[in-house]
Amino acid sequence: MSNQDSRRSLASELAAAADAYQAAAVIPHCSVCAKPCCRLDALVLELEWKQIRTFWKLGESRKTFDRQLAAGKGPEEIRAANGLYYVHSKPCPAYDLAGHGCTIYGQDIKPAGCSDFPVYEDMGSVTADLRCEAVNLDALVAWLARAVGPAFRIVQSADAEFPFLVTLAARKKAGQRPPRA
């Protein structure tokens, strides 16, 4: 297997392990979470126009909505920038406050970032967002180590600006070769 194929294979294993960790340790906790991310108290939700239009049940054109937003007459929790919309400080309209769940779970309209949060593969490493109370960093490191096997160790590094974002990279142990596919 070439180095490039090995890297792709490792990235796939990490992606699968991140998804499995979410399914096993994060999603079951969402219904009892003390600080649900979907309330957007701490997190900023990035949305495209089609999501803004659907979530806020808008009938007007994007141009009209953008004009209203720029004039301070749109929803105060939405900011527009770079062709996207950023929502913060009020619960996501798709969040069921009473049931503690996403009402568009599994639908195409659901933002990709929602499915990624709080543990996801990115550029061959796993990013963990520790703002989610369900993430146990030690348990996640052990989970990933099991997934990639004994030829690798998991190295952690926190983002300098946002230390709650931790990158977990699989590094080959000295003198070890990755297992053949």
CA distance 125 to 141: 12
Q: Are 137 and 118 in contact (CB under 8 A)?
A: no
How many residues contact ligand SF4, by CB under 6 A? 21
Tell me if 92 contacts ligand SF4 by CB under 6 A: yes
CB atoms within 10 A of CB 85: 24
Query: 95 in helix, strand or coil?
Result: strand
Rounded to a whole number of angstroms, the minimum distance from the CB of residue 138 to ligand SF4 is 17
Residue 165 CB, shortest distance to ligand SF4, in Å, is 14
Our CB check for ligand SF4 shows the closer of 55 and 152 to be 55
- The Cα-based distances of 97 to 35, 138, 148, 162 in angstroms read 12, 30, 38, 28
User: Residue 111, interface with ligand SF4 (CB under 6 A)?
Assistant: yes
Q: Which of 17, 52, 104, 148 binds ligand SF4 (CB under 6 A)?
A: 104
CB of 45 within 8 A of CB of 86? yes
Between β-strands 119-122 and 152-158, what pairing exists: parallel, antiparallel or unpaired? unpaired
Cα–Cα distance between 77 and 20 in angstroms, integer? 33
Kindly state whether residue 102 participates in binding ligand SF4, applying the rule CB under 6 A.
Answer: yes
Which is nearer to ligand SF4, 46 or 66 (by Cβ)? 46
Does 152 participate in binding ligand SF4 (rule CB under 6 A)? no
- Is residue 72 packed enough to be buried (19+ CB in 10 Å), middle (13-18) or exposed (0-12)? exposed
Task: Find the binding residues for ligand SF4 in span 11-70 (CB under 6 A).
Answer: 26, 29-30, 33, 36-38, 45
Interface with ligand SF4 includes 145 (CB under 6 A)? no
Among the listed ranges 120-128, 129-137, 151-159, 166-174, the one in contact with ligand SF4 (CB under 6 A) is 129-137
> What amino acid occupies position 132?
C
Least separation in angstroms between CB 116 and ligand SF4: 10
Residues at the interface with ligand SF4 (CB under 6 A): 26, 29-30, 33, 36-38, 45, 92, 94-95, 102, 104, 110-111, 114, 117-118, 132-134
